[in-house]
Amino acid sequence: TLYRHFPTREALVEAVYAAELDDVTASASALLDTLPPERALRAWMERYAAFVATKRSMLNTLHSGWASGRLATPATRERITAAIGTMLAQGARAGSLRGDVAPDDVTAMLLGVFLSTAADDEPERTERLLDLVVDALRPPGSS
């Protein structure tokens, strides 16, 4: 039945990946509606970390589909960076986050956290590193 909607396993994996990425990126606005920007950003980072952790097993299938051209290369980084940019801009307006940080730099920091903790079975380490990223995004002199 699945193959009526998804001609290959790779297509099914890509559809799941895309739908879950939609949820992650859309959650930024929802979090900003209910939390101060710096707390929304930290909560969103946790959600993004969970997304990345669950997608590790899918990566080989996705990479082979992207490399062969059977699957469209996703604009994942751009979408993640846009979500971060929204939260940074709102935090800068509120004075709780620095206004001089490029959203793509935050994306790079997060990817560094995820790559450096990929082999760890220590969620606490990821949490500590995410806290450090948020601390780096606060204006000097704030706590």
Q: Are 91 and 38 in contact (CB under 8 A)?
A: yes
What number is the average pLDDT over the span 1-27? 79
What is residue 56's DSSP assignment? G
Q: pTM of the entire structure?
A: 0.84
Distance, CA of 15 to chain centre: 17
The mean predicted confidence, pLDDT, of the chain is 86
**pLDDT, tens digit, 9 for 90 and up, residues 31-83:** 999 999 999 999 999 999 988 888 776 666 666 766 766 656 567 888 899 99
| 83 close to 31: Cβ distance less than 8 angstroms | no
Average pLDDT, integer, range 84-93: 97
Give me the CATH code for the 2-137 domain, please: 1.10.357.10
Alpha-carbon span 44 to 86, nearest angstrom? 12
The per-residue pLDDT for range 67-76, each reduced to its tens digit, is 766 656 567 8
| CA dihedral for 137, 102, 91, 27, sign (positive or negative) | negative
Q: What is the pLDDT of residue 120?
A: 74
